[in-house]
């Protein structure tokens, strides 16, 4: 079995808890964590940082291809660097979140980042999370999971996460933002968000974090060689 198939692919909509669960599951399994969403966040941050016109797809694609993006493993998960600067926290701001769709809907941006993701996945087993991991990036992944939760629960979790970072949150506005992100992701022409035919549906609405991680780890152990 190739290294690329030794992937736990976790897909799902915004706010489903994919990043936190994937990070903890990777630690429990003793393999690496790949946060593909961080790549799109980094590309968005870089375009904003460089003052690129966010309404210009060609300029955004060129900016993404030129981005000097690197990663490193840390105890808290994957750290993201652009041109040597640690932007792991900067890419999580609401300002970046609101603009991600401008890049993740551009085929040339997605193609470039998917190639990077596959390069990382070919190097070693990973728990990878995103919105097209099991359908596009690693369609031969040994373990595919589609995480979901009720929209209001996803909004509550994201609001709690932001408040923990000291940010003020309008939960109603956040819920609407998540709804819009879901709609855009599911209806975009290139690599839309969908559950892979062989992905296991994991509804986390009524599960706490520990229970979700336990389920993911158990599924991974069943399917990884």
CB 18 within 8 A of CB 131: no
Residue 201 has pLDDT above 90, yes or no: yes
Q: Which helix (H) or strand (E) holds 87?
A: none
Those residues whose C-beta lies under 8 Å from the C-beta of residue 137, and which sit 6 or more positions away, are: 9, 36, 114, 117, 118, 121, 128, 130
Residue 58 to residue 63: CA distance in whole angstroms: 9
Residue 73 has pLDDT above 80, yes or no: no
pLDDT on residue 84: 92
For 64-84, what is the mean pLDDT?
A: 87
Identify the band that residue 198 occupies on the pLDDT scale cut at 50, 70 and 90: very high
For the chain, domain boundaries: 3-220
List, for residues 50-62, the tens digit of each pLDDT value. Answer: 999 999 999 999 9
Residue 77 has pLDDT above 90, yes or no: no
CB 51 within 8 A of CB 93: no
Class of the CATH domain delimited by 3-220: alpha beta
Q: Which residue has the higher pLDDT, 189 or 210?
A: 210
pLDDT on residue 224: 86
pLDDT on residue 2: 58
Residue 5 has pLDDT above 90, yes or no: no
Residue 151 to residue 93: CA distance in whole angstroms: 21
CB 170 within 8 A of CB 151: no
């Amino acid at each position: 079995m190739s290294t690329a198939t030794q992937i736990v692919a976790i897909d799902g909509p915004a706010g489903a808890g994919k990043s936190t669960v994937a990070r903890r599951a990777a630690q429990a399994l003793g393999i690496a964590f790949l946060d593909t969403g961080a790549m799109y966040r980094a590309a968005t941050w870089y375009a904003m940082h460089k003052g690129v016109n966010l309404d210009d797809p060609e300029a955004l694609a060129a900016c993404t291809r030129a981005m000097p993006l690197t990663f490193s493993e840390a105890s808290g998960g994957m750290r993201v660097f652009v041109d040597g600067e640690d932007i792991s926290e900067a890419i999580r701001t609401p300002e970046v979140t609101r603009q991600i769709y401008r890049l993740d809907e551009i085929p040339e941006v997605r193609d470039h980042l998917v190639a990077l993701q596959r390069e990382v996945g070919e190097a070693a087993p990973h728990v990878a999370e995103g919105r097209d991991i099991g359908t596009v990036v690693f369609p031969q992944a040994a373990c595919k999971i589609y995480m979901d939760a009720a929209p209001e629960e996803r909004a509550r979790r994201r609001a709690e996460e932001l408040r923990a970072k000291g940010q003020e949150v309008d939960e109603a506005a956040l819920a609407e933002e998540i709804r819009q992100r879901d709609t855009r992701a599911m209806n975009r022409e290139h690599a839309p968000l969908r559950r892979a035919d062989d992905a296991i549906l994991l509804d986390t609405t009524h599960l706490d974090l520990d229970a979700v991680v336990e389920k993911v780890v158990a599924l991974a152990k069943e399917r990884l060689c």
